[in-house]
Amino acid sequence: MKVLHLLETSIPHIVGYTIRARSIIESQRRIGLDPVVITSPFFAAQRPGAAVETIDGTRYYRTNDIPAPRAGQSGLASYALRLRMIARYRQAVLAIAQKERPDVIHAHSSYGNAFAGMPARSRLGVPLIYEVRTLWGESAVIEKGLRPDSWKHRLVWKLELTAMKRADLVVPIARGIRDELVRRGVPAEKLEIVPNGVDLARFQPVPRDDARAASIGMTNRFVIGFIGSILRLEGLPTLLDAYHLAKSRRSDLGLVIVGDGPERPELEQQARRLGLTDVVFAGRVPADDVSSWYSIMNVLVYPRIRALINERVTPLKPLEAMALGKACVGSDVGGIMELIRHDDTGLIFRSEDPSDLAAALLRLADEPATLSRLQQNAYRFIKDEREWTTIVTKYRDIYRRVLANKPAATPAA
């Protein structure tokens, strides 16, 4: 069965979006499916002008010759260009689909990819799946100050819901996303969850990198860590406040924050105000070094704030940490609690409550047996429920179901 994936961006660029896509594509190849990829004009190609390239045995068609909106463009100008871009992108997808002759078109967030696949769906008579990774408008409410009642917020939801209406089946990646889509009118029977997972062949526990720890002053410390983008929705100010409180109880604690983002300067200023001179801000690190940074951390913290996007969407990073045998502490927002079961696979604290987070961190530092139990349970959860070789079979079942009711082809005009 040949599956044509439409992606916003892809490897070799490494972010959560591309990691999930790579895992899906590689796992589908392992179970005998034949994935082919088209990336949108938003993909920043490392080889500009390359029409197609092969990565790990999969063909990746590039459409980055099509102009896309630039950062900083005004709202109306940006959306006008986006509509023109989607029109050209649709033509490119149709041409490639006519060449590849897929059995199924699998469009991944955002709505532009779903709209781009619709002419090919109609012309070739193949079903179109739309995978919803996040709630784009709700993310912009937190990170860009978008007003929930603004025309842009309403437009994003209108476009997303229209894409879902026209797709043959919609695949949200979390229960929270599914619940929000049902609340907004998407029929429950049209939704099938395929959750985030981890490729255990890529994420394997490694021995503690003592040289790394020594180089940043973390020898003989209980290291609290965060690895990810430094965004407002992540709630990192709460982590700094909690560390300040916990540090007054145990002097052998350490805090390492790996990653970058728009909130980093303000976070560093907060650390200075609190007198936390030992907090390490490692910045963005090469992908090959991430496991080394994980190895020196005793616990990973995900202090997300209470916001609709965090209540609905599950992050990938806690799953990666669990796969590496790490204990996780997360706030009590819906997307985190889909992944972390309190006092079983990790600990949950009250969102934006530094005292409650400090208490959780001190408990793990003071109770090695509890720390070990949570680490073991977390790894077992990944192995039993969230390993990609298990999850990917859900896609095969979904494809077979929609193929049984595939749309009729529309003759060319």
Question: End-to-end distance of the chain based on CA atoms, in angstroms?
Answer: 28
Residues 97 and 70 in one domain: yes
Give 132's DSSP letter.
E
Query: Do 113 and 246 lie in a common domain?
Result: no
**273 in a domain, yes or no?**
yes
**Residue keyed to tokens 């912009």:** 140
- Residue 296 is encoded by which pair of tokens? 């020196």
Specify the DSSP element, H or E, that contains 169. Answer: strand 169-172
Full domain range(s) for residue 357:
210-385
Same domain (yes/no): 260, 346: yes
**Domain annotation covers residue 205:** no
Q: Is residue 225 part of a domain?
A: yes
The domain total for the chain is 2
Q: Does 16 share its domain with 99?
A: yes
Instruction: Specify the pLDDT at position 73.
Output: 64
Please provide the DSSP assignment of 31-60 as one string: TT-EEEEEE-TT---SSTT-SEEEETTEEE
Identify whether the C-beta of residue 8 lies closer than 8 Å to the C-beta of residue 39.
yes
Q: Is residue 408 part of a domain?
A: no
Spatial distance between the Cα atoms of 194 and 393, rounded to a whole number of angstroms: 10
Asked whether 219 and 210 are in contact (CB, 8 A), the reply is yes
Q: Are residues 381 and 249 located together in one domain of the fold?
A: yes
What is the DSSP track for 322-362? HHTT-EEEEESSHHHHTT--BTTTBEEE-TT-HHHHHHHHH
Are 193 and 220 members of one domain?
A: no
Other Cβ atoms within 10 Å of 147 Cβ, number: 10
Q: Is residue 411 assigned to a domain? A: no
pLDDT of residue 140: 61
Residues 241, 115: one domain?
Answer: no
Give 10-residue mean pLDDT values along the chain (413 residues): 96 89 95 96 76 94 88 70 90 97 96 96 96 77 69 84 96 95 95 94 90 96 97 97 97 97 97 97 92 97 94 94 96 97 98 98 98 97 93 95 84 61
Global pTM reads: 0.88
Three-state DSSP state, 144 = coil
Residue 111 lies in a domain: yes
* Residue 58 resides in a domain: yes
State which H helix or E strand residue 283 sits in. strand 280-283
CA-based radius of gyration for the chain: 22
Query: Is residue 245 within 8 Å of residue 239, measured between CB atoms?
Result: no
Q: Respond yes or no on whether the N-terminal peptide bond of residue 110 is cis (omega within 30° of 0).
A: yes
Length of the chain: 413
The answer as to whether 324 is a domain residue is yes
Query: 312 and 174 in contact (C-beta within 8 Å)?
Result: yes
Report d(CA 33, CA 35) in Å as an integer: 6
- 83 in the same domain as 24: yes
- CA-CA distance, 355 to 344, in Å (whole number)? 21
CA 380 vs CA 309, 317, 345: distances in Å: 28, 17, 9
pLDDT at 406: 77
The structure tokens 């604690």 sit at: 253
Q: Same domain for 12 and 106? A: yes
Could you tell me the CATH number of the domain that includes residue 126? 3.40.50.2000
Question: What span, in angstroms and rounded, lies between the C-alpha atoms of 213 and 178?
Answer: 41
Which residue, among 314, 298, 86, has the nearest Cα to 180 in the 3D structure? 314
- Same domain? 231 vs 141: no
- Using the 8-state DSSP alphabet, how is residue 203 labeled? -
Do residues 129 and 169 make contact, with C-beta atoms less than 8 angstroms apart? yes
Contacts of 300 (CB under 8 A, 6+ apart): 225, 226, 227, 294, 317, 318, 321, 326, 327, 328, 329
Say whether both 185 and 250 belong to one domain. no
Distance CA 212, CA 37 (A): 38
Whole-angstrom distance, CA of residue 403 vs CA of residue 1? 11
Regarding whether 361 and 308 lie in a shared domain, the answer is yes
